[in-house]
């Protein structure tokens, strides 16, 4: 079976027990940390790329208030089916069944204040990630924020340990939580077979900069600040020289930290505007 087909089947199966994750302390913490990093305002437009069963969208809706315009994009109809009831009380929420890459390619530039994606990027290969970063950065309005959370390490041990530091084994023996643990073992097995091949944090940071993003901060999470299996990256639009800007990196340019874009030849930085 091809990798894309395996992935589609996996998300469809996973949708039925996915919300068992809500019983897991590190997942709740991950949702809280991501919502906080987004700081979505009451009138902001936000898109969640690979929104799954809508847990983050529901949290953001509660935090931002009814005026926020929220869009969730996911390729799995089964996942979106679980998301829909959670967003019923939200005035301006929209769920779109689509692969995120063509959706990103078709979306207008500078059309969102917040762009977020949680635990989806590791399912993309390097070429797809390049499309992801350039599309996600292109969507941002000036002053907007991109928050990406993704795994860069195989394994689920640190997540289980973080959970058991606060909950007893006995209270954790719930069927839906055990089902989720089983599915995470399956994802781990797929990583071992390179169906999923997570990129390390330094590669992700470099990819984001090449796409014209300025990385504001990164932190390790989902299993603790040291051992966590996920990284959270917060970025904004880098200042770019509008005369040389391309869809990818501005030629010969640097990001706002003065770091040369990886594709750039080593030249004197050009003046920046805006
Ligand atoms: C591990 S789940 C994460 C769900 C959600 N973001 C969360 O953190 O709870 C991965 C989700 O990404 C979706 N997904 C994977 N590849 C995708 C793609 N290329 N386009 C759109 N959605 C995708 C899957 O259908 C699934 O719902």
CATH number of the CATH domain containing 108? 3.40.50.150
Token pair of 164 as six digits: 């058991």
Mean pLDDT of 206-226: 97
Q: Do 156 and 244 lie in a common domain?
A: no
Q: Do 218 and 242 lie in a common domain?
A: no
pLDDT tops 80 at residue 161: yes
Which of 21-30, 92-101, 162-171, 256-265 is predicted with the least confidence, judged by mean pLDDT?
A: 256-265
User: How high is the pLDDT of residue 111?
Assistant: 97
Ligand 1: nearest atom to the Cα of 48? 6
Q: Do 41 and 165 lie in a common domain?
A: yes
Q: Does 119 sit in the ligand 1 pocket, CB within 6 Å?
A: yes
Q: What are phi and psi of 91, to 5 degrees?
A: -60, -45
Q: Do 160 and 75 lie in a common domain?
A: yes
**Per-residue pLDDT band at 129 (split at 50, 70, 90):** very high
Token pair of 142 as six digits: 């000036």
Q: Among 32, 72, 118, 123, say which to mutate for ligand 1: greatest number of ligand atoms within 8 Å of CB.
A: 123
Mean pLDDT of 10-14: 85
Q: What are phi and psi of 193, to 5 degrees?
A: -90, 5
What's the mean pLDDT when you consider all of the chain?
86
State how far the Cα of 206 lies from the Cα of 212, in Å rounded to an integer. Answer: 10
Q: Do 41 and 134 lie in a common domain?
A: yes
User: How high is the pLDDT of residue 187?
Assistant: 76
pLDDT tops 50 at residue 251: no
Q: Do 204 and 272 lie in a common domain?
A: no
Could you tell me what percentage of the chain is helix, strand and coil, using 3-state DSSP and rounding each to the nearest 5?
45, 20, 35
Q: Do 142 and 164 lie in a common domain?
A: yes
Hey, whose CA ends up nearest to atom 18 of ligand 1? Answer: 99
State how far the Cα of 50 lies from the Cα of 154, in Å rounded to an integer. Answer: 20
Give the tens place of pLDDT for each residue, 82-127. Answer: 999 999 888 889 999 999 999 999 999 999 999 999 999 999 999 9
Q: Do 259 and 168 lie in a common domain?
A: no
Going by C-alpha positions, the residue among 84, 97, 32, 26 that lies closest to residue 53 is: 84
Q: Among 75, 104, 124, 229, say which to mutate for ligand 1: greatest number of ligand atoms within 8 Å of CB.
A: 75
User: How high is the pLDDT of residue 155?
Assistant: 82
pLDDT tops 70 at residue 200: yes
**Per-residue pLDDT band at 254 (split at 50, 70, 90):** very low
For residue 168, the number of C-alpha atoms closer than 13 Å in the C-beta half-sphere is 2
| Distance between Cα 99 and ligand 1 center (Å) | 9
Q: Do 84 and 209 lie in a common domain?
A: yes
User: How high is the pLDDT of residue 113?
Assistant: 97
| Distance between Cα 260 and ligand 1 center (Å) | 32
| Distance between Cα 215 and ligand 1 center (Å) | 23
Hey, whose CA ends up nearest to atom 13 of ligand 1? Answer: 50
Q: Do 155 and 172 lie in a common domain?
A: yes
Q: Does 60 sit in the ligand 1 pocket, CB within 6 Å?
A: no
Tell if the pTM clears 0.75, that is, is over it.
yes
Domain of 225? 3-236
Mean pLDDT of 11-34: 93
pLDDT tops 50 at residue 272: no
| Distance between Cα 53 and ligand 1 center (Å) | 9
Q: Do 224 and 249 lie in a common domain?
A: no
- Please list the residues that pair with 219 across neighbouring strands: 232
248: which residues sit within 8 A by CB, 6+ positions away?
Answer: 130, 134, 210, 211, 212, 263
Q: Do 65 and 198 lie in a common domain?
A: yes
Instruction: Give the total number of structural domains in the chain.
Output: 2
């Amino acid at each position: 079976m091809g990798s894309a087909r395996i992935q589609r089947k996996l998300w469809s199966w996973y949708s039925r027990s996915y919300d068992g994750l809500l019983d897991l302390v590190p997942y709740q913490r991950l949702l809280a940390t991501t919502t906080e990093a987004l700081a979505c305002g009451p009138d902001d437009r936000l898109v969640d790329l690979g929104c799954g069963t809508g847990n983050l969208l529901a949290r953001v809706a509660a935090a931002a208030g009814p005026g926020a315009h929220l869009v969730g994009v996911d390729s799995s109809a089964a996942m979106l089916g679980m998301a829909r009831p959670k967003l019923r009380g939200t005035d301006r929420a929209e769920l779109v069944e689509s692969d995120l890459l063509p959706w990103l390619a078709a979306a207008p530039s500078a059309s969102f204040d917040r762009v977020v994606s949680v635990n989806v990027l590791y399912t993309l290969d390097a070429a797809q990630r390049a499309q992801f970063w350039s599309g996600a950065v292109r969507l941002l309005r000036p002053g907007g924020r991109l928050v990406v959370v993704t795994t860069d390490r195989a394994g689920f041990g640190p997540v289980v340990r973080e959970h058991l530091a606060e909950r007893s084994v006995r209270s954790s023996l719930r069927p839906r939580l055990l089902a989720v643990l089983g599915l995470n073992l399956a994802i781990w097995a797929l990583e071992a077979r390179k169906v999923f091949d997570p990129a390390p944090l330094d590669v992700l940071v470099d990819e984001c900069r090449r796409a014209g993003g300025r990385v504001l901060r990164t932190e390790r999470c989902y299993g603790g600040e040291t051992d966590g299996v996920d990284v959270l990256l917060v970025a904004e639009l880098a200042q770019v020289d509008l005369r040389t800007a391309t869809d990818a990196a501005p030629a010969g340019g640097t990001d706002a930290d003065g770091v040369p874009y990886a594709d750039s030849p080593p030249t004197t930085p050009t003046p920046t505007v805006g």
